[in-house]
Amino acid sequence: MTMVMLSVVGARPNFVKIAPILNAIRPYPEFRSVLVHTEQHYSDKMSASFFEELGIPEPDFSLGVGSGTHAQQTARAMVAFEQVLQGCPADLVLLVGDVNSTLACALVAAKSGILIAHVEAGLRSFDRSMPEELNRVLTDQLADVLFTPSPEAEGNLLREGIRSERIHFVGNVMIDTLVAHLDRAVAKAAWRKWSLPPGQYAVLTLHRPSNVDHDETLIEFIGAIRALQEDVPVIFPAHPRTAGRLQACGLDRELRGLPNLRLVEALDYVEFLSLLCRSQLVLTDSGGVQEESTYLGIPCLTLRENTERPATVNAGTNRVVGIDAARILAAARTILSGRVPPRTIPPLWDGHAARRIVDVLRRALHEDAQPAAKA
């Protein structure tokens, strides 16, 4: 038997998650792999360079979804993906993460009667105001096979009525990619490019609309960073959305004038990982950066009121500090003083999650067993 597996990516975090899966499935001729890029992220720094760096093959289909409101992105992805399925019948649609493209393609696949596998299933912030939370919950309800990255994710799914036989704890595929590229990242020594002392600088990332689209919130963050850079050098690779907002608010000039802050463009994967792995402190609103810093043992402050990745908090590396400047600064200075809790790596964050995902799919194929009926 041959399984036609149609994998969907749409944004930068998806590329990091799909790369090890495509690599792990390559040796098995019983799978025919088809890659669809919805192009929800379409700039070079957010898309093309990642394909090259991570060894992802050229997409078989590029949908040109682009930017827009959540409804616009979701609707355009649904229409374009339906056309793909009409011309390329698939046995399985493999989805990663929680962006709008993930949900859009899950809806189309489910209505087309095609099996769905969701990688990174079960993560919950329990904050329905987050678009990603809605995407996660709905995609998991539509999926036939759910691959979880951490133990608490299974409990979330079971509470939502999903049967245990559909759930497979496989670990974190983002860590697979990190492990595969860590040596290259260390050798790149990106900290030298910006004259940063290794182990004595902070990395900042901001991109969530709830943080950067509101002037008051963005100004609060910048107030914290203005004070923090007096204590430690800070490098701030600005997501294109964030860079635009900083410019619109007139904050970019102020940041460029701060003596101990480096405001730079969004970075390629390996260059950013290189910065991350020799930092003393990370401040972020990114789920992926929370996970990467946890594996690396770098203290992380999450600039949100919640996280869908509590495994990073339980591991001792991550602390959710919210958006108040005084609280952020106090937490950062605690870390800079050397007061950090013991740290661990969550179970199965070992660089082999993709292999476990492929093993589950191969067993299903060779046993000629359909996934269990949906709850």
Both structure tokens of 289:
């950066």
On whether the CB atoms of residues 46 and 22 are closer than 8 A, the answer is: no
On whether the CB atoms of residues 198 and 185 are closer than 8 A, the answer is: no
Token match 């810093």: residue? 293
First to last CA, the chain: 27
Distance CA 189, CA 275 (A): 7
**Plot region of 324 (φ>0 → left; ψ -120 to 50 → alpha; else → beta):** beta
Q: What is the 3-state secondary structure (H, E, C) of the chain?
A: CCEEEEEEECCHHHHHHHHHHHHHHCCCCCEEEEEEECCCCCCHHHHHHHHHHHCCCCCCEECCCCCCCHHHHHHHHHHHHHHHHHHCCCCEEEEECCCHHHHHHHHHHHHCCCEEEEECCCCCCCCCCCHHHHHHHHHHHHCCEEEECCHHHHHHHHHCCCCHHHEEECCCHHHHHHHHHHHHHHHHCHHHHHCCCCCCCEEEECCCHHHHCCHHHHHHHHHHHHHHCCCCCEEEEECHHHHHHHHHHCHHHHHHHCCCEEEEECCCHHHHHHHHHCCCEEEECCHHHHHHHHHHCCCEEECCCCCCCHHHHHCCCEEECCCCHHHHHHHHHHHHCCCCCCCCCCCCCCCCHHHHHHHHHHHHHHCCCCCCCCC
Which residues are identified as catalytic? 207
- Number of other CB atoms surrounding residue 58 within 10 Å: 9
CA atoms within 13 A of residue 301's CA, in its CB half-sphere: 29
